[in-house]
Amino acid sequence: MKFKYMKSVLSVVFASFVLVLSVFQANADKRMNVVVPDWTGGEITCEIAVLILEQELGYDVDQIEFPSGNAAWEAAIAGDFDMMCEHWPSYTEGDTTFIAEFGGSGEMISLGTTGIVGLSDYYVPKYFVDANPDFKTWEDLNKYKDQFATIESGSKGRLIGCPVPGWNCYDQIRLDMLGIDFIADELGSEAAALAEAQGAYKRKEAFLLYLWEPHWAFGAMDLVPVKLPANKSCDTWTEADGYKDCGLGFWPATGWAEDHTFNSGNPNFWNAPEHAAAKAMMAKMNFENIHQSTMLAEINATGRSVKDVVQEWKDNNEDIWRAWLQ
């Protein structure tokens, strides 16, 4: 009798252990590490995906800040990150290196485009163009370089350039190849670059600024693009090929292409059957520039957090994101 009782108790304990283990495994399967982009628009795109994954699909998502660049791709391939958000093809070399559909190794996969279409150029304030009607395009920059010079740039003009080296803008190389007698100044962050430009804007000083759309700055400042040469890619301009120069008329002696941004992930994670619903949602995720621009303006004007503003967008736009889950 005692033996039967003990056997019954052990059976209950074992069943409870199996249940706890199953719950733990299920929870473990729902954990995800995501790289947070180092620009506000990318943060918004990532936060939208994260909120859907957490609130609608039950994931526990850890958002990790990590500088853009090849190191982020390598960490994702190693399994440190499961997803990276809002790649701009003009800026990243990881797509053609690691994603099969772009000619890469297949160590990473595209999770689908985001709907955000990026445009990049160098910009000057409209009051500068109004005061100098002969200024038309980038080809006129040297004629007015004295107005763009600073103590640091000396006799050369100054470009408030792409703030983060890992974005692969190649500003100084572009300036030199195009014969623009300017120094590219990397200030380390989006916030620092925009603070510098806004300070000059308030003082009505001339400045040349690298910027991209969508961005809140276009609502805060009246800016005019210098219309860099149309993009033409150079197949040998890659790290793997030692950045062989294709010459004038080819990247990076051009502007940027129109960027149809996308998210990426580690295939070992996303191709697992238990993540099929999440992968299908990411493939359908699609929102528009105007949505991101509106959220960017709200964040800049009020100082509210990205998470708070994106949650408000989600609450008010169920008709958009609900379709991603069908």
Give pLDDT tens digits for 137-167. Answer: 999 999 999 999 999 999 999 999 999 888 8
Least confident stretch, 13-17, 18-22, 96-100, 300-304: 18-22
Least confident stretch, 28-32, 137-141, 162-166, 207-211: 28-32
Give mean pLDDT, residues 118-126. Answer: 97
Least confident stretch, 6-15, 24-33, 123-132, 285-294: 6-15
pLDDT at 186 over 90: yes
| pLDDT tens by residue, 238-259 | 777 777 888 888 999 999 999 9
What is residue 174's predicted lDDT score, i.e. its pLDDT?
A: 96
Give mean pLDDT, residues 298-326. Answer: 97
* Three-state DSSP string of the chain: CHHHHHHHHHHHHHHHHHHHHHHHHHHHHCEEEEEECCCHHHHHHHHHHHHHHHHCCCCEEEEEECCCCHHHHHHHHCCCCCEEEEECCCCCCHHHHHEHHHCCCCCEEEEEEEEEEEEEEEEEEHHHHHHCCCCCCHHHHHHHHHHHECCCCCCCEEEECCCCHHHCCCHHHHHHHCCCCEEEECCCCHHHHHHHHHHHHHCCCCCEEEEEECCCHHHHCCEEECCCCCCCCCCCCCCCCCCCCCCCCCCCCCCCCCEEEEEEECHHHHCCHHHHHHHHHHHHCCCCHHHHHHHHHHHHHHCCCHHHHHHHHHHHCHHHHHHHHC
User: How many Å from the N-terminal Cα to the C-terminal Cα in the chain?
Assistant: 56
pLDDT at 14 over 50: no
pLDDT at 16 over 60: no
Least confident stretch, 86-90, 180-184, 244-248: 244-248
Give mean pLDDT, residues 288-311. Answer: 95
pLDDT at 41 over 80: yes
Q: What is the mean pLDDT of the chain?
A: 90
What is residue 28's predicted lDDT score, i.e. its pLDDT?
A: 55
What is residue 313's predicted lDDT score, i.e. its pLDDT?
A: 98
Confidence band for 8, pLDDT divided at 50, 70 and 90: low
Least confident stretch, 11-15, 156-160, 310-314, 318-322: 11-15
What is residue 318's predicted lDDT score, i.e. its pLDDT?
A: 97
| pLDDT tens by residue, 189-206 | 999 999 999 999 999 999
pLDDT at 278 over 60: yes
Phi and psi at 30, nearest 5°, equal: -100, 10
Confidence band for 235, pLDDT divided at 50, 70 and 90: confident
**Pairing, β 31-36 against β 83-87:** parallel
Domains of the chain, each with CATH number or no CATH: 31-117+261-325 (3.40.190.10), 119-225 (3.40.190.100)
The amino acid at 1:
M
pLDDT at 9 over 90: no
Confidence band for 236, pLDDT divided at 50, 70 and 90: confident
